[in-house]
Amino acid sequence: MQYTRIVPRRGVNDEGKGKKHALYRLISEAATEYVWLQDDDIVPPTAVPETDADMLILPLRMEPASGRPSLLERLQMTEYAAIQQLTIETARRGHPVLCSGANLLVRRTRWLESYGDLHPEQPSGDDMFLLESFKRRGLKIAVVSDAAYEAVVRPIGSWRAFFRQRMRWAGKAAYYTDRDIRLCGAMVVIANLLQLLCPPLLLLKFPIDFFLARKRDASVSLSVAFLLELLYPWYMFLSLVGGMFASRKASPSF
């Protein structure tokens, strides 16, 4: 299968106009049927599988760059494993709610047709808005879970940067219109709110979250997963509140 790797880089091919502009220009210039979208800070796999889908969601794995991971990194790795498994499970059932432009295969013409749906006023979110556009248009979306096609992403190195990232993600939530995505988000918020209001509910919620993480990554630690379960409602709501304020000040950037 013929494809072109698309890797937007700040200051190199965004022309100071933001990631979405860079993606549009690079994809427009491609001459292949498919484009393989990647972030510039991942460790990519060597190939992608054959597909006839308009969008193929490819797997990701989070690993530290070197050395023994810190507690923050271990918490992120555990959360990321659960998110990846949720991505795979919902897509397999025909109701995808997540995808990542860090490792995504897309039919070139379909991406270009969806460009107007990517909310250029938002500094990020091209992947999720693209997913919404593809679902709304009834295009074919598939997913691959095979580790041979995994890309490796790196955890955030500081708590400050971690919260800034989470607030940026949360700031996009108000712009989502897809029913599956909004329902999934509402369920997560409600479940964590109930956990705060009634802490014993953690004993019911934790096995589900731990199962998701362990299914994707067997190395997930029980103790780290439990600590994440305790902390998650607090930093989730902090990120939501911060994200709402940040989204009002957002301007197009990379």
Bridge partners, residue 105, by sequence: 36, 56
Q: Where are the domains of the chain?
A: 3-248
164 or 10, higher pLDDT: 164
**Is the pLDDT reported for residue 124 higher than 90?**
no
Question: pLDDT-based confidence at 167, cuts 50/70/90?
Answer: confident
Question: What pLDDT score was predicted for residue 16?
Answer: 63
Which one-letter DSSP state was computed for residue 206? Answer: H
Is the overall model pTM greater than 0.85, yes or no? yes
User: E-strand spans in the chain?
Assistant: 3-6, 34-38, 55-57, 60-62, 103-107, 141-143, 151-153
Question: What pLDDT score was predicted for residue 247?
Answer: 58
> Average model confidence (pLDDT) for the chain?
91
Least confident of 5-9, 87-91, 169-173, 187-191: 169-173
Give mean pLDDT, residues 127-142: 97
Give mean pLDDT, residues 63-73: 92
Question: What pLDDT score was predicted for residue 164?
Answer: 87
Token readout for 232 is 């998650």
Question: pLDDT-based confidence at 253, cuts 50/70/90?
Answer: very low
Bridge partners, residue 153, by sequence: 62
Give the phi and the psi of residue 3 in degrees, each rounded to 5. -150, 160
Question: What pLDDT score was predicted for residue 254?
Answer: 42
Q: Which CATH number fits domain 3-248: 3.40.50, 3.90.550, 1.10.1760, 2.60.40?
A: 3.90.550
Question: What pLDDT score was predicted for residue 166?
Answer: 87
Question: What pLDDT score was predicted for residue 11?
Answer: 60
Q: Which residue is associated with the tokens 């790795």?
A: 77
Question: What pLDDT score was predicted for residue 165?
Answer: 87
**Is the pLDDT reported for residue 252 higher than 60?**
no
Question: What pLDDT score was predicted for residue 62?
Answer: 97
Answer left, alpha or beta for residue 49, where phi above 0 means left and psi between -120 and 50 means alpha: beta
